[in-house]
Amino acid sequence: MPPKILVLGSSNVDLILRVPRFHRAGETIKAESLVTAFGGKGANQAVAGKRLGGAVFLITKPGHDHYGQSSRH
């Protein structure tokens, strides 16, 4: 039987933009790509516990926006 792991912690969404270079003061540049990744200290620890074979339970407080709704699934 796998060990039970309870994680109480944060969850969030990282929006990672790739840009061709650092901008200059006051300059706007266009991103080349966008990656959306779920994370947060609590969520990352829960994933690590699961990868190590644990039965993981995560208690977190997702937001009421699109990303919070998506993180529930």
CB contact at 8 A, 17 and 36:
no
| Domain count of the fold of the chain | 1
Give the pLDDT of the chain (73 residues) as one tens digit per residue: 999 999 999 999 999 999 999 999 999 999 999 999 988 999 999 999 999 999 999 999 988 888 888 777 6
Its pTM stands at: 0.72
Q: Residue 49 burial (CB < 10 Å; 0-12/13-18/19+)?
A: buried
Domain range for 58: 4-71
